[in-house]
Structure 1
Amino acid sequence: MGLLTGMTSAQAAALWSGLMILLLVFLSIRVVMARRANRVLLGDGGNARVLLAGRVFGNAAEYIPAGIGALAVLTLLGAPAWTLHGLGGLLFVGRLIHAVSLSEKRPTAGRVLGMVLTFTALGVAGAMLVVHAFVGLPHV
């Protein structure tokens, strides 16, 4: 854990943003592989496996950019590294749990947990940004 505590705010934002981008790349590759395996050139071709892979990627792509943007702006505003680790880690773990759980063919508690973690991270980040617009963040 010492490695994380020695990071600057920018390094913390870079770590979590990078991990989330890599998650998007991995999920995108899964879509390509599903299309190739099922000989689908575009879209899902009516194939359930391709549709699911596309939705798993699409769901992550709907939330991750907002989280990365929030991390970047909070870094520019001087948020402490521990805050960025908390928000970035929460969002990354939420998206990872959700992606794994959404890959199953039935509703799971993991899907709910993933969304709760995601909404918590984005909600707290959003609130911090709004508050900072009027009050400012403490510089640590």
Structure 2
Amino acid sequence: MMHAVTPLYAGLCGLFFLVLSIRAILARGRARVMLGTGEDPALLRAVRVHGNFAEYVPLTLVLMLSVEVMGVTQWPLHLAGISLLLGRLAHAVSIGREAHDHRLRVAGMMLTFLAITVLSLAAIIFAVL
């Protein structure tokens, strides 16, 4: 029996998003800032890691589900899901640190863009064939 792939990555991303949300909430409490970032560097990093995740992950999961529903085999979906998760993790670790690692940030964005590109092209190809 084949299992759906997208719910696995949606669930993992959901848990990851909760962790990032809690980190942002805690940073907000430490900085005593209720709205915005109050020019607090740690809070700004936590908010941007959380926001960046929220900006890229939903579209990627919609693309993944679209391609899955169209009948693509599971292994490319797993590769895209792993790429998305590793990309978001690398990006979060990079930006979340005070000593920013630009290479890790670039690697995270490249993995995320790879997943979006492959899934977008697959969606277009499946839609027109």
Same fold (TM over 0.5): yes
In the alignment, which residue of structure 2 is the partner of 1:17?
Answer: 10
Q: Which consecutive unaligned segments of at least 5 residues does structure 2 have? A: none
Partner of 2:19: 26
Aligned to 1:60: 53
Q: Any idea what SS the aligned residue of 1:43 has?
A: coil
Please, what TM-score do these two structures have when normalized by structure 2?
0.92
1:128 aligns with 2:114: no
Report SS of the residue matched to 1:46.
Answer: coil
Paired residues, number: 128
In the aligned structure 1, how far is the partner of 2:39 from the partner of 2:106?
A: 27
Whole-angstrom distance in 2 between the partners of 1:123 and 1:40: 37
Corresponding residue for 1:36?
29
Please give the residue correspondences for 1:83-122 in structure 2 after superposition, counting only pairs within 5 Å: 83-105=76-98, 106-122=100-116
Quote the RMSD (CA, aligned, Å).
1.3
CA distance in 2: counterparts of 1:117 and 1:71, whole angstroms? 15
Show the 5 A alignment for 1:72-91: 72-91=65-84
| One-letter amino acid of the counterpart of residue 125, structure 2 | V
Give the structure 2 partner of residue 50 of structure 1. 43
Opposite residue 16 of structure 1, the aligned amino acid is Y
2: distance between equivalents of 1:67 and 1:18?
Answer: 13
Q: Which amino acid aligns with 1:93?
A: L
TM-score of the two chains, using structure 1 as the length reference: 0.86
Q: Alpha-carbon deviation of 1:108? A: 2.1
Q: Which stretch shows the higher mean deviation, 91-100 or 42-51? A: 42-51
CA deviation digits over 1:25-83, x for unaligned, max 9? 11111010001111111121221111111011111111000111111111211111112
Q: CA deviation at 1:104?
A: 2.1
1:22 and 1:16 map into 2 onto residues whose CA distance is 10
Q: For residues 67 and 31 of structure 1, do their structure 2 counterparts lie closer, same or farther at Cα, with a shift above 3 Å needed? A: same
